[in-house]
Amino acid sequence: MAFARLGSRLYIQGGEYMLTQSQKEPTSQFFSLDLSTSWPVSNVPWQAHTDGPGFRLATATGSPNNQTFYEYLVNGNNLYVYQINVESPNVGWNVTSTAPPETLQQGIRPVLDPRTGLVYIAGTQYLCVLNQATLTWQHTTIPPFMLIQRYYGGGVYNNARKSIMYHGGYNNFWDSSTYITEYSIDIGRWSNYTTHGDIPSPRSDHCMAIDESGTKIVVFGGRVPLNPTSSLPSDSTFSGDLYVLDIASRAWRKGASSPVRRGYAACIVVGDQFVAWGGHDESIIASGPPIVFDLTWFRWVDNYKAPSYYQSSKPSSSSSKTQMPSITQSSPIPAHKPSATDVGAITGGVVGVLTVIGITAGALVYKRRQRKREGYELNQMIIEQDDFNSGDSASGSLLTNQLTAHKPNANLRDQLEHHIKAEVICHQNQNQPGNPQVMPSTRARNPQAPIRLGGDPQGLP
């Protein structure tokens, strides 16, 4: 399934749900989870939106302005881009296609640079860079000994370091250890980010998320080697392990495992909480409510607490009036009545105003004596600010100088209508369970999915 955070909501689209123990069906459902309010996992504020493409395997990013949900599907030599404006849902879904600089594998992890709107996709040879507005490409070669494990790994944008940090995956074999590979966007440099502590075991198809300030990375679940001596991806099982990397100290710390093993989950870090939903193991789709791990208490909890920066802000607008699935309607907001708290607040406000008046009068006397000195300091501040504003801004152009422009195939749009009819399921009123049901899979078998596991574990977070 495809998922991405846009503002104060986590959007999840597509995947598959389980009809019976042995029968799974793709779904075109499109839901979002409200992150601006606190809720218990027993009563989750899901919001249904206009159904999208019915793919088991797709990935997604948002837009820098948090208004557009972009979904990506690899099909042969083409990358199909589906998009919907979540602020204007009546416009519906739009789909376009483009040919990347190289044929991409299905296990791509698109990473958005919110400063530029460019989307970075690590391929087998190139780091492919998509301009979503123009559907044009740039690319640069990945050094041969960097990012060796390039299939079905995780990748996140680090806002503090202005870089992309990759973890895990495989390359026709399991490596004996895992590591963080970092791509510094502004200078176009690849490097290994050395870490220590409880280093995660090798894995693919896991969930990887980072907090907004770029200080912590969470790695959760995924497909892991069946035993320490396993070398082939087919010799694998699923995990419920959770690891947290502190970026400043470069130290990994292992948390308590989830009771349900899963790969291909949707996940996000909001404030000091890790939230995950969906996924599946060898045979069972993990349906049910989201799970929440508190990064401060370092344990699984039963309640999601909205970060403080959402407490005084208005929740983002919803793009659909559809009722939340399996959620009872909240009670109407009662009419406001004066209370003892209101009276106390008014009294405190009056006292505060009188205090400010007294302080202001004293300040006027003092400032009269300091006027000459302040004039000098103000001039000095203006000079320093001018020096700061004249700093070097050339680093932002380094990426452009390194990348090679690559135009999309103009003939692809002629094939688009046929592709949509053949591949897209966009039923508005499917007879599906009310709660968003889980999980990615694809019509083409994942080369890493062992036949013996039963079911098709194809899919991405």
Alpha-carbon span 114 to 68, nearest angstrom: 13
Alpha-carbon span 458 to 441, nearest angstrom: 4
Contacts of 304 (CB under 8 A, 6+ apart): 35, 38, 39, 40, 41, 270, 273, 275, 290, 292
Largest alpha-carbon pair distance within the chain?
A: 86
Predicted confidence at residue 436, as pLDDT, reads 61
CB-count burial class (<10 Å; 0-12, 13-18, 19+) for 196? exposed
Closest CA relative to residue 324, chosen from 31, 53, 115: 31
Predicted confidence at residue 456, as pLDDT, reads 32
Predicted confidence at residue 224, as pLDDT, reads 85
Predicted confidence at residue 298, as pLDDT, reads 98
Contacts of 281 (CB under 8 A, 6+ apart): 237, 238, 260, 261, 262, 263
Instruction: Render pLDDT for 324-342 as a digit per residue (tens, 0 to 9).
Output: 333 222 323 233 333 443 4
Instruction: Render pLDDT for 33-67 as a digit per residue (tens, 0 to 9).
Output: 999 999 999 999 999 999 999 887 899 999 999 99
Radius of gyration of the chain (CA): 25
CB neighbourhood size of 313 (10 A): 10
Q: Which residues of the chain have pLDDT under 70?
A: 20-22, 173, 176, 228-229, 231-233, 282, 311-461
Alpha-carbon span 80 to 73, nearest angstrom: 5
403: helix, strand or coil: coil
Predicted confidence at residue 55, as pLDDT, reads 84
Predicted confidence at residue 49, as pLDDT, reads 94
199: helix, strand or coil: coil
Closest CA relative to residue 165, chosen from 130, 96, 215, 236: 215
CB half-sphere exposure, 1, CA atoms < 13 A: 36
Residue 164 amino acid letter: I
Q: Which CATH number fits domain 2-324+397-453: 3.30.70.1400, 2.120.10.80, 3.90.1150.170, 3.40.50.1780?
A: 2.120.10.80
The token duo for 305 is: 């607490």
Residue 131 amino acid letter: N
CB-count burial class (<10 Å; 0-12, 13-18, 19+) for 451? exposed
Alpha-carbon span 37 to 342, nearest angstrom: 24
368: helix, strand or coil: helix
Domain boundaries, the chain: 2-324+397-453
Predicted confidence at residue 196, as pLDDT, reads 96
Predicted confidence at residue 323, as pLDDT, reads 38
The token duo for 95 is: 């789909």
DSSP label at residue 66: S
CB neighbourhood size of 388 (10 A): 8
State pTM to two decimals: 0.71
CA 187 to chain centre: 24
Strand order in the sheet with 154-158: 154-158, 163-167, 180-184, 189-193
Q: Evaluate whether 205 touches 459 at the Cβ level (below 8 Å).
A: yes
Alpha-carbon span 164 to 426, nearest angstrom: 33
Strands annotated E in 259-350: 266-270, 273-277, 291-294, 299-301, 303-304
Q: What is the DSSP string of 122-133?
A: E-SSEEEEEETT
Q: Report residue 340: phi and psi, to 5°.
A: -60, -30
Predicted confidence at residue 432, as pLDDT, reads 41
CB neighbourhood size of 372 (10 A): 7
